[in-house]
Amino acid sequence: MIPGTKNNMERNNINPQDLTMASDANQECFPSNDDLPTVLLHRLPSFNSPLKEILQPHFHLLDPADSPEPASSFLSSHAKSVRALICLYNTPLSAETLRLLPSLEFIVATSAGVDHIDLEECRGRGIIMTNASKAFAEDAADYAVALLIDVCRRISTADRYVRAGLWQVNRDYPLGFKLGRKRVGIVGLGRIGFEVGKRLEAFGCSIAYNSRQKKPSVSFSYHANVVDLAKDNDALILCCPLTEQTHHIINREVLEALGKEGVIINVGRGALIDEKLLVKFLSRGDIAGAGLDVFENEPDVPREVFELDNVVLSPHRAIFTPESLEALNELVFTNLKAFFSNKASAIGL
């Protein structure tokens, strides 16, 4: 799978022109709502997306957040026969809500992570789920690599230094350290992790990984656990989902194994790392630096890191570019179309 070499839609035999035309021809050319498959849009009222406009010509969209009725009563009255649901961004999808949807067979998550969805309930009922990794993987990987370069080479810190007028005064700046030939350990070798590894190879880094299962088709070196990965590598990049098993997977043992010269990059979920402990390690110089796109309690970032020059902070946007959001919309459309045509996509979780 080589994402991005062709437009997602073309790859799935959907002509972009048709989609646009469909939207324009909205009222006139399309069958009535009664003939369109019903899809529930599950979202927090504050979340919005162009998905509604894009999907409306093709599906009968139910949007409880748009209704004055309380959600549970709306679902009970209108959604008993709903077979497919879109979970917008990280709107929590609880077992309680799922139980109000007895006919549900298919969930389209519009995020890469799905820790906000009750996976156990879904598994128990055999509900198929797709996530959006395919749309986001490259942008997330680009960002993760850039965070690593930034931390190693101190790009953001140096920018701050220059803007504060200190270069002019001191005529000097502490050096960063070399990225090339660094050993990089990727935690979670899904789509994003794989793309990260591919890119870093071009920088002369050697790549190792830990994942739930070894990937036989991949040439990167596999480590059975994260502590070993940390011991043997100069940097860790977290690209795995948040689950019960991965909660605080980066703990004291891992950070100590990573060591004083070690660097950690997180584009997964804040709770993958014991954040309080990480801050201590960073403040004391017990690891060399960190690039963090996610935090345990967004948008709150521990105050102590603001004092630190060895951290790069990012407001949870590694996966987002206008292009990836467009790709996401296409992916959602494609997945729904495939489901309702009984050509269920091979992308499951």
177 lines the binding site for another protein (CB under 8 A):
yes
Annotated catalytic residue within 116, 125, 316, 326: 316
Q: Which stretch binds another protein (CB under 8 A): 34-42, 63-71, 74-82, 172-180?
A: 172-180
Does residue 1 touch another protein according to CB under 8 A?
A: no
Q: Single out the segment in contact with another protein by CB under 8 A; choices: 103-111, 114-122, 162-170, 252-260.
A: 162-170
Identity of the residue, 147 or 240, whose beta carbon is nearer to another protein in the bound complex: 147
* Buried residues in 172-183 as b, exposed as e (16+ CB within 10 A): eeeebeebeebe
Alpha-carbon distance of 221 to 330, in angstroms, equals 34
Choosing from 63, 105, 121, 142, the residue that interacts with another protein (CB under 8 A) is 142
* Site for another protein contains 149 (CB under 8 A): yes
43/154 with CB nearer another protein: 154
- Residue 309 burial class via C-beta count within 10 angstroms: exposed 0-12, middle 13-18, buried 19 and up: middle
Applying CB under 8 A, which of residues 12, 30, 176, 206 lies at the interface with another protein?
176
Shortest Å, Cβ 194 to another protein: 12
Calculated CA dihedral for residues 77, 75, 130, 6, nearest 10 degrees: 70
Is-catalytic flag, 58? no
Least Å distance, CB 311 to another protein, is: 9
DSSP three-state, residue 129 = strand
Ranges assigned E (strand) in 230-309: 235-238, 263-266, 289-292
What radius of gyration do the chain's Cα atoms show?
Answer: 22
- Residue 265 pairs in a beta bridge with 237, 291
Establish if 301 lies at the interface with another protein (CB under 8 A): yes
Assess 314 for contact with another protein (CB under 8 A): yes
Selected from 31, 68, 126, 180, the binder of another protein by CB under 8 A is 180
Q: Respond yes or no: is residue 248 known to be catalytic.
A: no
What is the distance between the alpha carbons of residues 85 and 105, in angstroms, rounded to a whole number?
8
Nearer to another protein, 71 or 146 (CB): 146
Task: Please select the residue that binds another protein; options are 155, 257, 277, 344, rule is CB under 8 A.
Answer: 155
Q: Which residues contact 110 (CB under 8 A, 6 or more apart)?
A: 49, 51, 86, 87, 88, 89, 132, 328, 332
Q: Residue 47 interacts with another protein (CB under 8 A)? A: no
Indicate whether 198 belongs to the interface with another protein (CB under 8 A). yes
CA dihedral 147, 269, 298, 130 (to 10 degrees): 110
Tell me whether residue 316 is one of the annotated catalytic residues: yes
Query: 164: exposed, middle or buried (C-beta count within 10 Å: 0-12, 13-18, 19+)?
Result: exposed
Residue 171 interacts with another protein (CB under 8 A): yes or no: yes
Q: Is residue 324 a contact residue for another protein (CB under 8 A)?
A: yes
Please, which residue, 75 or 325, has the CB nearer to another protein? 325
User: Distance between CA 296 and CA 100 in Å, rounded?
Assistant: 30
Chosen residue from 145, 242, 264, 278 binding another protein by CB under 8 A: 145
The residue within the footprint of another protein, chosen from 68, 175, 219, 342 (CB under 8 A), is 175
138 makes contact with another protein (CB under 8 A): yes
Measured between alpha carbons, how far is 72 from 78 in angstroms, rounded to an integer?
Answer: 10
> What span, in angstroms and rounded, lies between the C-alpha atoms of 253 and 236?
14
Is residue 322 within a helix (H) or strand (E), and if so which, with residue range?
A: helix 322-340
**AA letter at 1:** M
Residues making contact with another protein (CB under 8 A): 4, 138-139, 142-143, 145-147, 149-150, 152-156, 158-163, 167-168, 171-173, 175-180, 198-199, 201-204, 298-301, 306, 312-315, 317, 320-325
Q: Could you list the active site residues? A: 269, 298, 316
